[in-house]
């Protein structure tokens, strides 16, 4: 029995959005989202979420509704600290994406190798006498950003290349970028 016939296409969109962003490349979900956008937005508003759709960049995701005052809003996710290296990598990727968008290239995808990602971060991380541990710490940060859908494996696994997902721009805007830069600067000045 075909499970798609048991459930409306909207059900698959709702389920996916609860787990991760939807991208234009997933044509069936993207079209279902576009076709039933109002009903989907209404459903998520009832549980304290806003559906953010960027047609130009080709992604959609959920954002927690923030209400002024003391009104309580249901939360469906936990906030988790990224850690210094992952946060640093996030800032570097956001800036790299801005440079990429400003350049006059034919590609719309920013793809970086694992080594390029390591080099982006290593210039800001204090080296220790254990180079293997330093590399492992950066690789852990890369894995964390992959889990959070800011990076996606691209190409064959042995190539170790990653696409920087454009959703990073929406989730990590200029105000957040400046706030994190300030925290990172304070972190470095304290000598941690």
* pLDDT tens track for 157-184: 888 999 999 998 887 777 777 777 777 6
Helical spans, DSSP H, in 7-83? 9-19, 27-35, 37-45
pLDDT given at position 1: 41
For residues 51 and 42, give the distance between their C-alpha atoms in angstroms, rounded to a whole number.
9
Tokens of 55: 């047609």
Spatial distance between the Cα atoms of 90 and 179, rounded to a whole number of angstroms: 13
Pairing, β 59-64 against β 110-113: unpaired
49: nearest Cα among 13, 76, 68: 76
Give the confidence band of 89 by pLDDT, cuts at 50, 70, 90: very high
Helix axes 84-102, 174-189, angle to 10 degrees: 130
Mean per-residue pLDDT over the chain, rounded: 85
Q: How confident is the model at residue 98 (pLDDT cuts 50, 70, 90)?
A: confident
pLDDT the model gives residue 4: 52
Express each pLDDT in 105-124 by its tens digit: 777 889 999 999 999 988 77
pLDDT of residue 187: 62
CB 96 within 8 A of CB 120: yes
In the chain the domains, ranked by start, together with CATH numbers, are: 3-64 (1.10.10), 84-189 (1.10.10)
Split at pLDDT 50, 70, 90, the class of 102 is confident
Phi-psi category of residue 137: left, alpha or beta, with phi > 0 → left and psi -120 to 50 → alpha: alpha
pLDDT digits (tens, 9 = 90+) for 25-34: 999 999 999 9
- Is residue 46's pLDDT more than 80? yes
User: What are the φ and ψ backbone dihedral angles of 43, each rounded to 5 degrees?
Assistant: -55, -50
Q: Is the pTM of this model over 0.95?
A: no
């Amino acid at each position: 029995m075909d499970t798609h016939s048991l459930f409306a296409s909207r059900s698959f969109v709702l389920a996916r959005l609860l787990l991760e962003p939807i991208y234009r490349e997933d044509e069936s979900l993207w079209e279902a989202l576009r076709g039933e956008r109002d009903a989907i937005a209404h459903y998520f508003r009832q549980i304290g979420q806003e559906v953010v759709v960027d047609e130009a960049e080709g992604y959609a995701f959920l954002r927690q509704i923030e209400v002024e005052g003391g009104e309580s809003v249901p939360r469906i996710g936990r906030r988790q600290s990224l850690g210094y290296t992952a946060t640093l990598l996030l800032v570097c990727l956001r800036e790299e994406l801005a440079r990429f968008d400003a350049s006059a290239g034919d590609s719309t995808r920013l793809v970086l190798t694992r080594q390029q990602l390591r080099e982006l971060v290593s210039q800001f991380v204090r080296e220790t006498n254990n180079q293997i541990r330093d590399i492992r710490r950066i690789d852990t940060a890369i894995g964390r950003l992959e889990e959070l859908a800011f990076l996606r494996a691209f190409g064959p696994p042995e190539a170790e290349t990653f696409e920087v997902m454009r959703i990073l721009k929406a989730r990590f805007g200029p105000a957040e970028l400046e706030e994190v830069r300030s925290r990172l600067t304070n972190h470095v000045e304290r000598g941690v």
